[in-house]
Structure 1
Amino acid sequence: MASMLCNNLVRFNRHGVTAVQKINNFFTYSNELSHPLDRKPPIVSAKEAVACVKPGNLIFCSGAAATPNALISALVENSDQLKDVTFCHMHTEGPAGYVAPDKANIFRSASFFMGGNVRKAVADGRGDNMAIFLQDIPQLFVRKIYQPDVAFIHVSPIDQHGYCSLGTSVDCVRAALQHSKIIVAQINKKMPRTFGDSIIHSSHFDFAVEIDEPLPCHGSKKPTEVETKIGKIIAENLVEDGATLQMGIGSIPDAVLNALHGHKDLGIHSEMFANGVVDLVAKGCVTNSQKKTHKGRIVGSFLIGDQKLYDFVDNNPFIEMLTIDYVNGTNVIRQLPKMTAINSCIEVDLTGQVCSDSIGTRFYSGFGGQVDFIRGAAEGTDGRGKPIIAMPSITNKGESKISPILKPGAGVVTSRAHVHYVVTEFGIASLFGKTMRQRAHALIQVAHPNHREALEKAAFERLHQMPSP
């Protein structure tokens, strides 16, 4: 059966050729994914669909809530004849069986943004990661640095016109699909239908697998007292009415959202958004009315949350899911009114250098969209953008997250020149326009009191003068 399917695959190949004949029912192939072609994909089982993967292939895999886990599992379970197969992807959800130690000679992972499910594989040398801005990821495909042999994607059901939606993840998926030789689609009744750049015609699929399974969920956990205080400080001092917000997933972004219920005419333009946005929309706080572009629309590129969020975005024209090179494009972000970018990090040194992707030499995540939005907010054409780094003052072990120098081997994601505001539960350090001595002073004031004296001594040793406002 697998052999027959692979022959069918060639017959149904998106470029319209077979080993023995050329299909005559359409005369050109367009890689414009919304263009309907005169063909239909075979509906097969996951095992049958993944039989198209060959040794040495490069597979692109969509991520976040749209991780196609049924296809991944089927390939991992039927991989005995494979070797040297690489998965490339952003952050994925699920067990990521392709990085299991016993599959090391078969699969390798290449992460454009590293999630927790591949972190150990990268640390052990069984996986690879990359330093890249989110807005630049589509260029990997456009410039043919990555040319996928097969793409695994996760889409909404086919409508009466033959169209599906990429649903919760548009990000770099469109660029990957336009440069993939074979597309295998996991069609899920529970995948939300979203608007914007998410539309794809099912005639571009080489194989389709139908499932009916819940999406991966990340429920909101109640912010801690410290996180709640940070959220309140940001909301009351740095977020203006009419501001456009960018924030990721996590307790601090949720705490900020929880503190914004008294604000008016907020807008959302963010590579991702999570559950807290839903309540702000319901209360009338998010209207997007001040935007000059995408006025009256929430703009995102991928998302993950709970079922409440998925129900909110499903078939909702208030939401536009757009490609990551557009959403995270600095030239786009800078034009948004009162652009307020709220991001977190692992540590900050006394000059304002921000480490967000590693703990010392150990890689933890990736660049993501932090620099895209921090710089875009700083460049705001209205002069009212606010680039914010927010974090608790100490780690769970009581170590200061404001340090004299970054840990040996730690990478700088956001440079000292990018950073304008650093917020902890002890207040706001405003760094823009400050000398190194003034920066050190401002950061020490928002460090945990238990660490301030040591930080002052370290600053004096480094700068040969006492920190001063």
Structure 2
Amino acid sequence: MAEILEGAGRLDLVAHIRPGDAVIWGQACAEPLTLTERLIEQRAEIGGLRCFLGLPASDTIRPEHADHLSFLSYCGGGGNRALHRAGVLDILPCHYSTLPDLIESGALPVDVALVQLSPADGAGRHSLGMADDYLSAAIDRARVVIAEVNDQVPWTHGTRTLTAADLDVIVFTSRPPAEIVKSVPGDAEERVAGHVAGLIEDGATLQLGLGALPEAIVARLADRRDLGVHSGQIGDAVADLMEAGVITGARKTVGRGRTVTGTLMGTSRLFRYADGNPAIELRDTRHTHDPEVLAAQERLVAINSAIEVDLSGQINAEVARGSYVGAVGGAIDFLRGAARSRGGLPIVALTSTAKSASRIVANLRGPVSTSRADAGIIVTEYGVADLRGLSLEERRARMLAIAHPDHRTALEKESCP
């Protein structure tokens, strides 16, 4: 039976975590802040630990904590950027969808899982609250599972719940969860959003990547009917359209009537809407990113972003100006799924420039996160380039047309890779 504690004051992680353990916790809004803060406080007492980080929404982990902790992550977003710049973050360049299998097989070791849960229902079941994604695999693999039961975390529906019998330690808290506040899109982002929104028809099912662009796109869909969502994450804009009756899932071929997601990445607005709402269902990545599930979802519109795209359609979503700021992520799963979906649209959206530098390039300045064989529809503020079925020369012309006018002449002189 789980050890029960009221608040973190009496929590002694030294009694549960061994030197050299591999520790994992929920990412973004699912981070159990009380537990991770306590881990930082006791890191010297515990000894060297290997910590797997997802996308952070807090500043709990900082470079100076590398004195007793080592850090590994699949992504360089949020606070991970500072860790990578300081040279204390190692990168696991994997598809996001493979994380549960890597954990389950032991290739990605997990000894201790720190999780944030909702209060229990009448049957004593705690929901995973903000995320399932790779957490279910971590919980099943870990030697020790320590839970923060936070009464401000929503009770969310899904296929996984936990009881006290599944946990080694339970700490009861009451504090606002970490939030991801959407950034305000600029003029270029709004123009990109307009082009993408123009491609989305009534009854489509949406997958949404991270960032200001997907949220701006969703905000432009208020006049659509019966949209669905099947995505690795959702934010506040999805809650807005669900409440408005725009996102109903009524025409989905898989998960009809439900918004299916791996994580909630938003603010208290989203958390309140998700609390007890059976129309939102949390699933792990083995379902949200499953190629057969995605292919079976008719009119799946995958909307992802990129750091840069070359003239042949190759995509770099990981490295900008020599710094690891993105991820391989789940884009390739969804782009391939949308390409196989009947009436699907595999979309990558980005502004044409970043700080005056062209993001449409002749040769990628970072790794190939998505090959040109998987390129579908590329969108900038200057238009839509549908690359499907086009030769390299035809792609070159389409990509030049959506590059920033100030860079087209220089790009025309470059050879296509």
TM-score bracket relative to the smaller structure: over 0.9
1:387 to 312, 335, 346: 346
Change (3 A) 1:147 1:44: farther
In 2, distance between residues paired with 1:49 and 1:134?
32
Match of 1:71 in 2: 35
In 1, distance between residues paired with 2:82 and 2:35?
22
CA deviations over 1:66-107 (Å, ceiling 9, x no partner):
10121111121122223320111321222233x432x32310
In 2, distance between residues paired with 1:122 and 1:262?
42
Match of 2:221 in 1: 260
Match of 2:395 in 1: 439
CA deviations over 1:10-50 (Å, ceiling 9, x no partner):
xxxxxxxxxxxxxxxxxxxxxxxxxxxxx343225435242
Q: The residue matched to 2:303 in structure 1 has which SS?
A: strand
1:341 to 302, 316, 327: 302
Q: TM-score, normalised by structure 2?
A: 0.96
Change (3 A) 1:208 1:375: same
Match of 1:107 in 2: 69
Let me know the Cα RMSD of the aligned residues: 1.6
In 1, distance between residues paired with 2:291 and 2:96?
11
Change (3 A) 1:221 1:148: closer
Q: Is the 8 A contact 2:2 2:169 kept in 1?
A: no
Match of 1:33 in 2: none
1:205 Cα offset (Å) = 1.1
Q: The residue matched to 1:187 in structure 2 has which SS?
A: strand
Q: The residue matched to 1:422 in structure 2 has which SS?
A: strand
Greater strand share, 1 or 2? Answer: 2
Q: Is the 8 A contact 1:44 1:207 kept in 2?
A: no
Match of 2:276 in 1: 315
Q: Is the 8 A contact 1:248 1:274 kept in 2?
A: no
Q: Is the 8 A contact 1:328 1:369 kept in 2?
A: yes
Q: Is the 8 A contact 2:84 2:323 kept in 1?
A: no
- The number of aligned residues is 415
In 2, distance between residues paired with 1:181 and 1:344?
37
Match of 2:373 in 1: 417
1:241 Cα offset (Å) = 1.1
Q: Is the 8 A contact 1:62 1:92 kept in 2?
A: no
Match of 2:81 in 1: 119
Question: Which residue type is aligned with residue 431 of structure 1?
Answer: L
1:175 Cα offset (Å) = 0.5
Q: The residue matched to 2:414 in structure 1 has which SS?
A: helix
Question: Which residue type is aligned with residue 372 of structure 2?
Answer: R
Match of 1:53 in 2: 17
Q: The residue matched to 2:413 in structure 1 has which SS?
A: helix
Q: TM-score, normalised by structure 1?
A: 0.85
Q: 1:403 and 2:361 equivalent?
A: yes
In 2, distance between residues paired with 1:272 and 1:252?
14
Structural mapping, 1:33-44, within 5 Å: 39-43=1-5
Q: Which 5+ residue runs of structure 2 have no aligned equivalent?
A: none
In 2, distance between residues paired with 1:198 and 1:220?
28
CA deviations over 1:282-311 (Å, ceiling 9, x no partner):
222111111122111100010211111111
1:416 Cα offset (Å) = 0.6
Question: Which residue type is aligned with residue 181 of structure 1?
Answer: R
For CA contacts below 8 A with separation 6 or more, give which structure has more relative contact order.
2
Change (3 A) 1:170 1:49: farther
Q: The residue matched to 1:109 in structure 2 has which SS?
A: strand
CA deviations over 1:409-443 (Å, ceiling 9, x no partner):
x1111111111110011110111111111111000
In 2, distance between residues paired with 1:315 and 1:219?
22
Match of 1:374 in 2: 335
In 2, distance between residues paired with 1:80 and 1:254?
41
Question: Which residue type is aligned with residue 347 of structure 2?
Answer: I
Change (3 A) 1:186 1:373: same
Q: Is the 8 A contact 2:127 2:162 kept in 1?
A: yes
Structural mapping, 1:189-228, within 5 Å: 189-228=151-190
1:146 Cα offset (Å) = 2.7
1:360 Cα offset (Å) = 4.7
Match of 2:92 in 1: 130
Match of 1:13 in 2: none
In 2, distance between residues paired with 1:344 and 1:336?
21
1:114 Cα offset (Å) = 3.2
In 2, distance between residues paired with 1:115 and 1:82?
28
Match of 2:114 in 1: 152
Larger radius of gyration: 1
Q: The residue matched to 1:245 in structure 2 has which SS?
A: strand
Question: Which residue type is aligned with residue 377 of structure 2?
Answer: Y
Match of 1:20 in 2: none
In 2, distance between residues paired with 1:421 and 1:118?
30
In 2, distance between residues paired with 1:330 and 1:124?
37
Q: The residue matched to 1:80 in structure 2 has which SS?
A: helix
In 1, distance between residues paired with 2:128 and 2:135?
8
Q: The residue matched to 2:334 in structure 1 has which SS?
A: helix
1:123 Cα offset (Å) = 3.3
Match of 2:104 in 1: 142
Q: Is the 8 A contact 1:273 1:303 kept in 2?
A: yes
Match of 2:128 in 1: 166
Change (3 A) 1:70 1:191: same
Q: The residue matched to 2:23 in structure 1 has which SS?
A: strand
In 2, distance between residues paired with 1:231 and 1:118?
27
1:317 Cα offset (Å) = 0.3
Q: Is the 8 A contact 1:162 1:203 kept in 2?
A: no
Q: Is the 8 A contact 2:95 2:330 kept in 1?
A: yes
1:327 Cα offset (Å) = 0.4
Q: Is the 8 A contact 2:118 2:149 kept in 1?
A: yes
Question: Which residue type is aligned with residue 62 of structure 1?
Answer: G
